[in-house]
Each structure stands twice: as C-alpha cells, then as structure tokens.
Amino acid sequence: MHGLAQREGAIISHTRYQKKIFKDGRENLQSPLICYGDADLYICLEPVEALRRGIFASHKTSFVLNSWTIPSIMITADLEQYPSVEKIEEILRGYSNEIYLMNSTELALKHFNSNQQVNIIMLGFAIPTGKLPFIEIEHYEEVIKEWLRDPDINIKALHLGLEEGEKIIKN
Amino acid sequence: MNFKESDIINIVIAGTAGQGVITLKRLIEFAAQKAGVERVFGSESYNLFQV
C-alpha cells in the first residue's frame, strides 16, 4: 500500500487474543474481527478516528486518545469542520465513562524531537487501563528490541507513555 | 477489571495513515505471543483517503 499518508487515509485494526484455549472449539476465539460493541480497549492516535469506528465501542470500552488533531482533506479544503476535542469526548461519553486523553504528539515532539514515537507512547498510555492483560512490559520491550529501529528511544517512549498514563488514569 | 485466562480481549487501534497503527498492532500481537498467549488474531483495514 502506497501513498496513504499523503491523503490522511483512515486506518483501523483489530487485535484479539485469548490466553488459554478450550478443548471445545466453540468457546475459542475464531474470528479476526471484533463484534459491534465488543471492544475492550480503543487506542486512537487521532481523535476523530475514534468516532469513525465508534460502532465497536460500548459501556465496557476504555478509550485512550491522542488529542493532537490531523485535519482531513475535506477540512483543509474548507468543505467541512473539524469537531472540537471536547465535542468528540462528549460523544464518546455516550458509550463509556472511561475516556482518557493525552497529547502524545506534543509529548513525543518535546522529548524525542520527532512524532515517530507517538504510537509507542500511546501503547504505554493504554497499559494502565488494565485492558491489555497477561502481557508484561518486558514482553513489549523484547519485541521492540527485536523488531523496531532505535529500540532504546522506543523503550524510553513506552516508559514515558506508561508514566504519563498512570498519572492520568489513576487520578 | 480482572480478566480470566479464557476471556477474549478485543482491541481496536485507529489512526490515520503514517501514524504507526499497524506497527502498534503487530507489536501487541508479538508481545502477546511472547507472553504465552495461545491464540492471537488480527485484521487491518486501509482507506486511501478520508472525508
């Protein structure tokens, strides 16, 4: 896939896991797609993207949002208006009370002088919600070391997100 | 919230192209495998532009 970033294409992914599987296959995870209203955790790297696939959210969903906005082409062309982050938060409160916002892009720019670490900061931010069970921080660190460039910077970003997330989520 | 080992955990990651959505998704999946999770599934959808 090429050229998506120039047009701010919307990307969505579903991740599903089950720690232990049953002998009876009917009890097990079988599909890669989440049912409507069944998301436990919603990590949004851009606020309006949270609304785009809100159908997967429900009262049990925890939202972690990066509050840094990226206006789409219709907004930069002045054909539509970008909703305020407060309005987005208000709409999401219709689903769940667990909505946590942090400006991860600003944090990344401040600490790393780059916005490439935003996704890893958001991962750290999501961990204190408790909606990523059975995975320890060491497991993320191992994967970062094996798979990502600049692992030291990315591990720092993970811990930065975790620290900031704990402050926001536990208050 | 306490999850049981038999529970299915559902995570949605959303963003715009270039923000690292797919990298983040794969990172979580690989970390889950390292944590001994027995079944991990994922899916991705791409849109060329947005309105």
A72-109: per-residue pLDDT in tens?
878 888 898 999 999 999 999 999 999 999 999 999 99
Matching residue, tokens 């750290």: A124
**pLDDT at residue A118, rounded to an integer:** 97
pLDDT band at A3 (very low <50, low <70, confident <90, very high): low
Cβ(B9)–Cβ(A132) under 8 Å?
A: yes
Is residue A137 within 8 angstroms of chain B, CB to CB? Answer: no
Residue A79 phi, psi (nearest 5): -100, -20
Decide if A67 is inside a domain. Answer: yes
Contact residues on chain B for A38, CB-CB shorter than 8 A: 10
- Residue A14 belongs to some domain of the structure: no
Read off the pLDDT of residues A18-70 as tens digits, 9 standing for 90 and up. Answer: 999 988 888 899 999 999 999 999 999 999 999 988 899 999 999 999 999 99
In a domain, A48, yes or no: yes
Look at residue B2 in the predicted model and tell me its pLDDT: 85
> Is the residue at A6 inside a domain?
no
**Domain span including residue A164:** 34-170
> Contact A169/A126 with Cβ under 8 angstroms?
no
Distance of CA A144 to the CA centre of its chain: 17
pLDDT at residue B49 above 70? no
**Residue B48 clears pLDDT 80, i.e. is over it:** no
Question: CATH code at A58?
Answer: 3.40.920.10
Structure tokens at A2: 């090429």
Count of structural domains, chain A: 1
Residue A100 lies in a domain: yes
Residue A90 is assigned to a structural domain of this protein: yes
Residues of B in contact with A143 (CB under 8 A): 27, 30-31, 34
The stretch B36-50 carries a mean pLDDT of 80
In a domain, A29, yes or no: no
Q: Which residue has the tokens 């600490």?
A: A111
Which residues, numbered 1 to 51 in chain B, qualify as contacts with chain A under a Cβ-Cβ cut-off of 8 Å?
A: 1, 3, 5-32, 34-51
Output the pLDDT for position A74: 81
Q: What is the mean pLDDT of residues A141-151?
A: 96
Nearest chain A residue to B7 by CA distance is A18
Q: What is the pTM of this model?
A: 0.92
CB B11 within 8 A of CB A39: yes
ipTM over 0.85: yes
Tokens of A27: 């009890």
